[in-house]
Structure 1
Amino acid sequence: MVLQDLGRRINAAVNDMTRSNNLDEKAFDDMIKEICAALLSADVNVRLVGTLRKSIKASVNFASLPAAVNKKRLIQKTVFDELVKLVDPHADSFRPKKGRSNVIMFVGLQGAGKTTTCTKLARHYQTRGFKTALVCADTFRAGAFDQLKQNATKAKIPYYGSLTQTDPAVVAAEGVAKFKKERFDIIIVDTSGRHRQEEELFTEMTQIQTAVTPDQTILVLDSTIGQSAEAQSSAFKATADFGAIIITKTDGHAAGGGAISAVAATNTPIIFLGTGEHMMDLERFEPRAFVQKLLGMGDVAGLVEHVQAITKDSAGAKETYKHIAEGIYTLRDFRENITSIMKMGPLSKLSGMIPGLSNMTQGLDDEDGSLKLRRMIYIFDSMTAAELDGDGKNFVEQPSRMVRIAHGSGTTVREVEDVLSQHRMMAGMAKRVGGQKKQMQRAQNMMKGGNKDQMAAMQKRMASMGGAGGMGGMGGMPGMPDMAKMMQMMGGGQGGGGMPNLGGMDLQSMMSQMSGLMGGMGGGGGGGGGGRGRGGR
């Protein structure tokens, strides 16, 4: 993935320094030198790297540091903060509002992936309750309208375009007027790709802007553009004055730092990253989360949002969440979780979001991981309805069931045993989460009732639990505000459509699944993908 090598090199430089027995100014300078070399090799602008170097050195002045200061922690924090500054222009981007028409216009170079990204963004907002539409104002590229039409039809998004009208400004104005009349919340206008040197196409771009008066103009930048990103983005900024950037093709293996340089050059925020070819492969960009992911610290918020978007309309997922809230976890629930993971994309994409998992999965083939997941689905599909809806105890009582399922799924008995073992572990987690959720509900009822004596007693119990290191390392829990946060975390209070998020059970489950997949199903023998059929019943 783009910038993955950069992240590894920066991580290695900081870790080498922090492990050093003699942490002096020379070790600090060596670390900065390696970080700068890594940034330069990733095509980050030379001037930006120089500024970063000065900022890190200025923040950590060895001569004036008090003896009590933890130098390693200070250096780690400084590197993190300065990398965040590198990709954060401290400028807010436009946020569309429901109940009114928000017109978004796309501009960018030829081949940057504008048309595909238009559909991805439309689908992103559509899954969040916006009424979205697409307008093809690219009359220059042959097949542009057909491509947008295919993408929009696949994503079930209304579209507008013309095969006869050659003036893109007229097409854009007609399309926007049509969808405004039909009260669409978000109208996305796709335009022709162009180069900085093509003055006629730049003039056309400004004519479209005048015709549709967009609320936001987005520049689409190919992550493989290299050092020319700064010059190209500056040219677009001078002509179209875009307010946001989307970086595409970040699933490739190019350096990618050139696109990051465009942020500093134009003082414009990146709002999304294109991470693949599928409609779901669009990640919201947040500077701190991006640097955390870059340094192998994960992006749990991004993982939560991604999973909720995938499972929002899934009846099976809602049933699973309901079961977990009650402390129940069936084999069918496990199958639903595995299916959700498969929808999320390749293992390399998922591993970047979960703290520490990128190191564990380094070198693991996406195809290999995907095959293991599919083999687990074959196992589930060879179970009876009663077995799927059960707790797995009947397999312990009647081991011959495992033999039947292994034969029916084209897998091995060892693989079936591993799946059942992982299910038992996760069912135990669900039971604990169900109990905690009931406790949280009781506490919430107390807060609503306003019984001060009960609330004081609850606070005292929670404080004692925190002091004893309870609650899974969540630290001392001094009072009700923290407990309210926990309830919100476990109850999916933010934009999840009332569905629990991954704050409690699901993230742990997913990590357990992944570690199980990497270590537990090593056998993988016998009969490959042949037997999807149901086992003999």
Structure 2
Amino acid sequence: MVLQDLGRRINTAVTDLTRAPTLDEKAFDSMLRDIANALAEADVNIRLVANLRKTIKTTVKFSELPPSANKKRIIQKAVFDALVDIVNPHQTPYQPKKGKSNVIMFVGLQGAGKTTTCTKLARWYMARGFKTCLVCADTFRAGAFDQLKQNAIKAKIPYYGSLTQTDPVVVARDGVEKFKKERFEIIIVDTSGRHHQEDALFAEMVEIQNAVQPQQTIMVLDASIGQAAEAQSRAFKETADFGAIIITKTDGAAAGGGAISAVAATHTPIVFIGTGEHLLDLEKFNPQSFVSKLLGMGDMQGLVEHVQSLKLDQKETMKNISEGKFSVRDMRDQLGNIMKMGPLSKMAGMIPGLSNMMGSMDDEEGSVKLKRMIYICDSMTVKELDSDGKCFVEQPSRMTRVARGSGTSVREVEELLTQHRMMAGMAKKMKGGMQNMQKAQGQLGGANRQQQMAAMQKRLQSMGGAGGGGAGGMGGGGMPDMASLMKMMGGGGGGGMPNLGGMDMQKMMGMLGGMGGGGGGGGGRR
């Protein structure tokens, strides 16, 4: 992915400078040149790149820095702030309100991924407690309604469309009126893809807009069009006057930096970016969080929100841990929760310092390993699942039976049980700590979000993670526990800790447990 490569290159340039034995102006200029080259190759506008170099130079004023100044921290912060400024449109997008109908209309070019993004956004709002629905007003493209219908059914979202009505204005108006009567809070209207030179389609777009009176019009842009995004977005802006943008396919080989920076130049807020093909692959865009993730500094707030939106019910598991217990079923539930969180690389991008250590780790391989562990648990009897695992030691034939039933090997079953023993031991040690933590969480219930996030950061640090945040997280940020986690996930073992196929489940689940409790996390915890 080009954006990941861009982040690595910028991070390397800053890290090389801050680790250099002599921090002089020549080395500083060399770093600026490396960053500028990386941005230019990612298709960021040359004018913006030149402005960034000038901004960093002006901010740092290297020759004027006193000897006592922390040059490394000043340089890191200047780079971070300059990058944020490039992608920050300095505009606030519309915020949907609960308890009223919010009509959101989608526009954009053909093939940008509008229909899929409509479903992703509907699912995103649904996960946050909104009553959402979809209206297909794309009567031009063959199969558009079928695609939206399949996506909506998969995501369990109500939808409206017609196979007989060919007038998109009528379909849009009827669908919106129907859902307004049914008191839906988020009504998303999908329209036909069009090109800025197609006058008839543009006129149709305006008619639909007049018919449904959307509170927000969102333009969907494919990251692969690079700097051409600016011209396209300006053309749509003049006609549809959209108030926000979603950039899709940022996971591809295209230079997505060009599209993001070009859109920022139009001063239109980017509200989300699409990071993959699955329904969960939609991330809220925040300039600070985006740059933070780009540079491997994580996005703690995004991670907490992501876990909260999944409504992971860990009430029973946390109750057992607080009592010093951890059954095989508890382990199986945690495995399922990890699977729900999406690709490991996406989760890693939100954890400070971890994305830069991902290397070429394969999400598919990690997913297969997790699934095999779940198959093993699913092949156990109710008694075995609710046990502490000792019955397998006393009767080894049980392992053979479970291996056959799950299509795995006896060795894999043994390794899973070894992992379980380690985690059960950890649960016993955590008994007192969990009780204190739950008391503290109860006291935090009425606290504001900032206090909850601060508590979340402290909890992560106690698990071996780094609160990171801010520019100080660049260049390593002190993440020994996460580094060892990635080493183990990559198959490196580490510290003699038993791991199944290279994945240290103890650390993975410890991390998930921490996330679930942060800021009023997983469902059922409060």
Partner letter of residue 276 of structure 2? G
Q: Is contact 2:301–2:453 with CA below 8 Å preserved after alignment?
A: no
CA distance in 1, matches of 2:25, 2:281: 43
Shift of 1:14: 0.8
Partner of 1:336: 333
Q: Which residue of 1 aligns with 2:237?
A: 237
Conserved 8 A contact 2:162-2:171: yes
8 Å contact from structure 1 (residues 234, 265) kept in 2: no
Cα offset, 1:286, TM superposition: 1.9
> How far apart are residue 108 of structure 1 and its match?
0.8
Deviates most, 13-22 or 168-177: 168-177
Q: Distance in 2 between matches of 1:514 and 1:447?
A: 32
Asked if the contact 1:440–1:487 (Cα under 8 Å) also holds between the matched residues in 2, the reply is no
Question: Partner letter of residue 112 of structure 1?
Answer: A
**In structure 2, do the counterparts of structure 1 residues 390 and 356 end up closer, same or farther at CA, with 3 Å as the change threshold?**
farther
Identity %: 68
Seen in structure 2, the aligned counterparts of structure 1 residues 444 and 283 have a Cα distance that, compared at 3 Å, is: closer
Corresponding residue for 2:373? 376
Determine the structure 1 residue equivalent to 2:471.
Answer: none
Matched-pair contact (CA < 8 Å) for 2:490–2:502:
no
- Alignment coverage as a number of residue pairs: 481
| Normalised TM-score (structure 2) | 0.82
**Aligned counterpart, 2:79:** 79
Counterparts of 2:32 and 2:208 in 1: how far apart (Å)? 46
Structure with larger RCO (C-alpha < 8 A, sep 6+):
2
Is the Cα contact below 8 Å between 2:119 and 2:155 reproduced in 1? Answer: yes
Q: Paired residue for 1:275?
A: 275
Provide the rounded CA distance (Å) in 2 between the counterparts of 1:483 and 1:231.
39
Residues 479-522 of structure 1 deviation map (CA, whole Å, 9 limit, x = unaligned)? x99997489749xxxxxxxxxx9898799999987665433334
Q: How does 1:158-237 map to 2 (within 5 A)?
A: 158-237=158-237
The residue identity in structure 1 corresponding to 2:204 is: E
Classify 1:82/1:434 alpha carbon distance in 2 versus 1 (closer, same or farther; 3 Å).
Answer: farther
Q: 1:437 to 1:359 in 2, by over 3 A?
A: same
Q: Hey, what does 2:519 align to over in structure 1? A: none
1:255-334 matches, within 5 Å, as 255-312=255-312, 317-334=314-331
Show the counterpart of 1:349.
Answer: 346
What's the offset of the Cα at 1:109?
Answer: 0.8
Q: Does the 8 A contact of 2:17 with 2:28 survive in 1?
A: yes
Change (3 A) 1:486 1:245: closer
Q: Secondary structure at the match of 2:265?
A: helix
- Aligned letter for 1:367? E
Task: Give SS of 2:350's match.
Answer: coil
Paired AA for residue 521 in structure 1: L
Is the partner of 2:316 in helix, strand or coil? helix
**Matched letter for residue 257 of structure 1:** G
The amino acid across from 1:61 in the alignment is K
Amino acid at match of 1:363: S
Task: Note the alpha carbon deviations across 1:163-210, whole angstroms, 9 max, x for none.
Answer: 333332222122111111121111111111111111221222122111
Structure 1 residues 249 and 216: alpha-carbon distance in aligned structure 2, compared to 1, 3 A threshold: same
2:33 maps to what in 1? Answer: 33
Whether the aligned pair in 2 keeps the contact of 1:489 and 1:504 (CA below 8 Å) is no
3-state SS, counterpart of residue 415 of structure 2: helix
1:61-120 deviation line (CA, Å, top 9, x unaligned) = 012111111111111111111112222222211111111110101111110011111111
Q: Deviations over 1:207-230 (max 9, x none)?
A: 211111110111111111112111
Larger mean CA deviation between 169-178 and 58-67 belongs to 169-178
Q: Match of 2:166, SS?
A: coil
Cα distance in 2 between the residues matched to 1:397 and 1:305: 43
Greater Cα shift, 16-25 or 162-171: 162-171
Partner of 1:518: 490
Q: By how many angstroms is 1:133 displaced? A: 1.5
Residue in 1 that maps onto 2:513? none
Distance 1:482 1:300, change over 3 A: closer
Aligned to 2:226, the other structure's residue is in SS state helix
What residue identity is the alignment partner of 2:500?
M
* Contact 1:422 1:516 (8 Å CA) reproduced: no
Match of 2:43 in 1: 43
Cα distance change, pair 263–425 in 1 and its aligned pair in 2 (3 A): farther
Amino acid at match of 2:375: Y
Aligned-residue offset at 1:410 = 4.5
- 8 Å Cα contact 2:488/2:502 also seen in 1: no
Cα distance change of structure 1 residues 98 and 523 upon mapping to structure 2, 3 Å threshold: closer
Deviation at 1:299, TM superposition (A): 2.2
State the SS of the aligned residue for 1:195.
coil
What's the C-alpha RMSD, in Å, of the aligned pairs? 3.3
Shift of 1:426: 3.4
Using the TM superposition, give the Cα deviation of residue 362 of structure 1 relative to its aligned residue in structure 2, in angstroms.
1.0
Cα deviation per residue 1:467-488 (whole Å; 9 max; x = unaligned)? xxxxxxxxxxxxx999974897
SS in 2 for 1:135: strand
Give the one of 363, 366, 372 matched to 1:366: 363
Q: The residue matched to 2:361 in structure 1 has which SS? A: coil
Check conservation: 2:489, 2:502, Cα contact below 8 A. Answer: no
1:422 aligns with 2:419: yes
- Do 1:105 and 1:218's aligned partners in 2 also have CA atoms closer than 8 Å? yes
1:218–1:246 Cα contact (<8 Å) kept:
yes
| Contact 1:14-1:76 within 8 A present in 2 as well | yes
Cα 1:30–1:445, aligned 2, differ >3 Å: closer, same or farther? closer
Q: 1:432 to 1:269 in 2, by over 3 A?
A: farther
> Once structures 1 and 2 are overlaid, which stretch shifts more, 16-25 or 406-415?
406-415
- Could you tell me which amino acid in structure 2 is paired with residue 184 of structure 1? F
Distance in 2 between the 1:204 and 1:262 partners? 26
Q: Aligned partners of 2:32 and 2:243: how far apart in 1?
A: 33
C-alpha displacement of 1:280? 1.8
Distance 1:82 1:396, change over 3 A: farther
Bigger shift: residues 348-357 or 94-103: 348-357
- The 8 Å contact of residues 133 and 187 in structure 1, kept in 2 or not, is answered as yes
Equivalent residue number for residue 55 of structure 2: 55
Q: Which moved more, 1:382-391 or 1:43-52?
A: 382-391
1:131 aligned onto 2:131: yes
The answer on whether the counterparts of 1:414 and 1:523 sit within 8 Å (CA) in structure 2 is no
Shift in alpha-carbon separation, 1:406–1:78, aligned structure 2, 3 A: same
- For each residue in 1:2-39, what CA deviation from the matched residue of structure 2 results, as whole angstroms up to 9, or x when unmatched? 40111111111111111111111111111111111111
Q: Aligned partner of 1:30: which letter?
A: S
Indicate the residue corresponding to 2:120 in structure 1: 120
Structure 1: unaligned runs, 5 residues or longer: 449-479, 491-500, 525-537
Give the aligned partner of residue 472 of structure 2.
Answer: none
Change in 2 beyond 3 A, CA 1:446/1:416:
closer
What is the CA–CA distance in structure 1 between the aligned matches of 2:450 and 2:289, rounded to whole Å?
25
Residues 311, 340 of structure 1: 8 Å contact kept: no
1:444-481 deviation line (CA, Å, top 9, x unaligned): 88999xxxxxxxxxxxxxxxxxxxxxxxxxxxxxxx99
Name which one, 1 or 2, has greater alpha-carbon Rg: 1
The Cα shift of 1:429 comes to 4.4
Q: Is the contact made by 2:115 and 2:148 (CA closer than 8 Å) also made in structure 1? A: yes
Separation (CA, whole Å) in 2 of partners of 1:154 and 1:507 = 36
